[in-house]
Amino acid sequence: MLFFRKKKDEKLEQVKQEIFSKIKPILSKMLEVDEEKITPKARIAEDLGADSLDSVDITIKLEEVFNIEILDEDVEKMKTVDDILTYLAHNKEG
Whether 51 is catalytic: yes
Query: Can you give the pTM of this predicted structure?
Result: 0.87
Q: Indicate the burial class of 74 (C-beta count within 10 angstroms; 0-12, 13-18, 19 or more).
A: middle
DSSP for 48-66, written as a single string: T---HHHHHHHHHHHHHHH
* Residue 65 Cα distances to 4, 59, 60, 94, angstroms: 30, 10, 9, 13
pLDDT digits (tens, 9 = 90+) for 18-38: 999 999 999 999 999 999 999
pLDDT at 87 over 50: yes
* pLDDT computed for residue 5 by the predictor: 58
Pick the catalytic residue: 51, 54, 72, 83?
51
**CATH superfamily label, 2-91:** ACP-like (1.10.1200.10)
Domain ranges of the chain: 2-91
